[in-house]
Each structure stands twice: as structure tokens, then as C-alpha cells.
Amino acid sequence: MAVHRYSTDRGDLTRTAILALLGTVGPLSRTEIARRLNLSPATVTQLTRELMGHGMLEELELERSKGGRPAQKLGLVGSAGRALGVKVMTDHIVIVDVRLDGEVLGSWERPIDTAAPTALDDLADSVAAAVARTSAETGPPLLGIGVGVPGSVEDQAVGTVDAPTLGWQAMPVGQRLRRRLDLPVLVENDVNALAAAERLYGRGRTHGDFLVVTIGRGIGAAIVTDGRVYRGARGGAGEFGHVPVDASGPVCGCGTPGCLEALTGAAGLIASARARGLTVTTVDELGRAATAGDTAALEVFAEAGATLGRAAAGLINVVDPEVVVMLGEGTADWPFWSTGFERAIRAHLLPGRRDISVEVESWDDTSWAQGAAALVLATPFDAAGAAGEQGRLVRARLIGATT
């Protein structure tokens, strides 16, 4: 790719926002680009002219019009870029190779023991192998690495992780990967990463304020306001699973009794099932029992759904989103959750919010890692600068600028 220098990083961000917009939604007219990015028509005309001159954009067919002059659409020349997304779990990692338009080019799974002293080295080895494998193939340039973890990350661009479920405290994930790979690396809470993916490819296209709630091994949430993920003062916003719901309830993994996650996460569901005499050891087994019509299994899900619904109503009443998106492995059993959830959430919402839409999306094993890749692919829209220096490096790679 030819090397071009641009005068300011603000200009770089605007150029890459144009590239990212066309990569995620497809060809658009200059007028539509200006509207979606809140730019002046003159700015869009100038910047798209530059990008066309560098061979990154091309004019496509004229857009049909009901009257007046037809608009010319602009599209990317080829594929502008891709990212690797990494989802870290206690015993394995999933890595995906994702293009700017959201297409998954490949996926891999590798074992890991996050409690081992060599965990970070093992993680770096696996990601380095994926980088080498994908770089050997002809395709879009690699813009960077996104890593999703089930814990708190104070700063995406630094990437120091506190994740009790992984056995990590102040773990320098970002620093270690950047040193090994010599690539931009962004690290984020895995649910916030999913919200970044929704910003690019899902509800974020049509809604500026929404909630992402995940159910599975744990319970999580991401709060998106005005198109941005709210991270909190220390990067720990969205710990929905640790909302206290029952002071006399079971002790959560965080050490506090009666957290939402202790009651409705995977361990809570299994404990509830065993209290009802079921001999299941996994949520998958519990789901199969419910599918077969087992009354006790159905009661477990309905009770958990009601607890989750009450808590979700409280969160909705506080942040007032336009829509709630349900994600995570647990959505495979959503028909059983919804029995208790729908009744409880509607009963506890403020009157003006009882018509809020709760949308359940499909899920597969690569979804978490796709969310992690979106951390990188979303940096062109990062007007607030949450990705810091690493975001600037991603944008430089996208437009071919030197650093």
C-alpha cells in the first residue's frame, strides 16, 4: 500500500470514519455520508476526493432519485482492513479473523490455563501463530488485535486486566501482546466489546441508546449512550451480575452474598436444579431436560427469568434505553427464561417504559471473539478517544499513514 502523510490525527479520524462507514454499511452517496457522520458536505467532498486520489474509494452507480439530480454512490476499493478478535476463557481462547464489513474470514480455538504462571506467554504464542497464519494469506491489511476478557479493564489502550474468574489481577495483557506482536492491541471487558459490535453491525446503526445484557456462565451488561459505551471511572461499568438481589442468597464468586449472577448465572441454575432433585451437571443438560418437558427444569428457568427480569427493569428505569439486546450462550434456552422474564420485567418497569423492545439475537461460539475484533474495527468512530494511542495506530494502518 502506498504511504501517505496527513496533517492531523483529527483529519485521520474523519477519513477513517468515512472508510469504516462504507465498510460496515456499504456504498453511500456523499450526502448520506455527511448526514450519518454529522459532517459538512464540503468536508465530505474534500476528504472523499483525497481518498479517491489514493485509490481507496471509487464512484459507483448513480443512486435513483424521485426528482432532481441523481446522487453518485461511493464504495471501498476492495477490502480496507481486518482485525483479529480474541476471547479469553478459563480453559481456552477463541480467535477470529474479521473484515471491516463484519465478514468472518476464519476462526480458531486454542487451549489455555489462565491460572498457570505461563498464561500470558501462552496467550501471546497463540495470537502470534494466528497473526503469522493470516499474514501469509493474500487479503486485507491487519489493523490490530482486540481482546475480550470477563473482567475489568481500566484503559483499553493500556490493557491491564482484573478478572477474578480467570485468576488475573493487574495482568498486563495489552503490554505483553504489543511487545510480542508489534501491532496495535486493544483490551476490553467482553460485554463492552459486544456492544462495540452492536455499534457497527447491529442495533447501533439505528439506536444511539441501548443496553446489551448477556446471560451464560455469568451475567453482564453494557450501557450505550449516544452511540458510546459507558465505561465508568475505572472501566468497570456494566457489572450487572453483581447487583445485589437477595441478602440471604448464595455467595457469589466476587465474595458477596445474593448477587444476581449467583442466582441466575450457570452455577446458580445448577444449584437451583439440584435443590429440586435434578442430577444435571451443566446448563446444557438442564436445557435438554426443559426441552423434554421436565417440570422442575422449567421451574428453574422461569424462576431465574423472573429474577433477571426484575433486575433488568431496575436497570432500564435508571438508564432509559431505546432497546435491550439479549446475547450470550444462555440465549439458547431463552424460550424457557422468557416465561418468567417477560412477566417480571413488564410488571416492574415504569409505566412509560413498559413497551420497550427486548430483542434476543442468535449466538454461536465465535460471537464473543467477533465482539473483540470490533474493538479494533470501531476505532475510526472513536471521536471520544477511548482507544488512545492504540486507536491512532489502527487509524494510521487503515489509511496507510506512517507513524
Cα 285 to chain centroid, rounded? 28
Confidence at residue 66, expressed as pLDDT on a 0 to 100 scale: 56
Confidence (pLDDT) at 107? 94
9-76 classified as CATH 1.10.10.10: yes
For position 2, what pLDDT does the model report? 35
What lies within 8 Å, CB to CB, of 85 at 6+ separation is 95, 96, 98, 145, 146, 147, 148, 193, 369, 370, 371, 372, 373, 374, 375, 376
pLDDT per position as a tens digit, 360-394: 998 887 899 999 999 998 887 776 677 888 988 88
Q: Supply the CATH classification number for the domain 82-196+366-399.
A: 3.30.420.40
CA distance 217 to 31: 45
User: Is the separation of the CB atoms in 58 and 74 below 8 Å?
Assistant: yes
Q: What is the pLDDT of residue 54?
A: 72
With a threshold of 0.75, does the pTM exceed it?
yes
CA neighbor of 87 nearest in space, from 367, 379, 363: 367
d(CA 38, CA 43): 10
Q: Does the fold of domain 203-360 match that of domain 9-76?
A: no
336 vs 343: CA distance, rounded Å: 13
Q: What is the DSSP letter of 352?
A: G
Question: Who contacts 286 (Cβ-Cβ below 8 Å, separation ≥6)?
Answer: 269, 270, 273, 278, 280, 297, 300, 301, 333
Strands 104-111 and 92-99: antiparallel
Give the C-alpha distances (Å, rounded to integers) separating 55 from 10, 59, 107, 137.
21, 11, 30, 22
Helix (H, G, I), strand (E, B) or coil at 311: helix
Total Cβ atoms within 10 A of residue 70: 12
Question: Can you give the residue ranges of every domain in the chain?
Answer: 9-76, 82-196+366-399, 203-360
pLDDT for res 211:
96
| pLDDT tens figures, 166-205 | 999 999 999 999 999 999 999 999 999 999 888 878 887 7
Residues of the chain short of pLDDT 50, as ranges, are 1-10, 401-403
203-360 folds as: Nucleotidyltransferase; domain 5 (3.30.420)
Residue 7 has what pLDDT?
35
- CB contact at 8 A, 374 and 200: yes
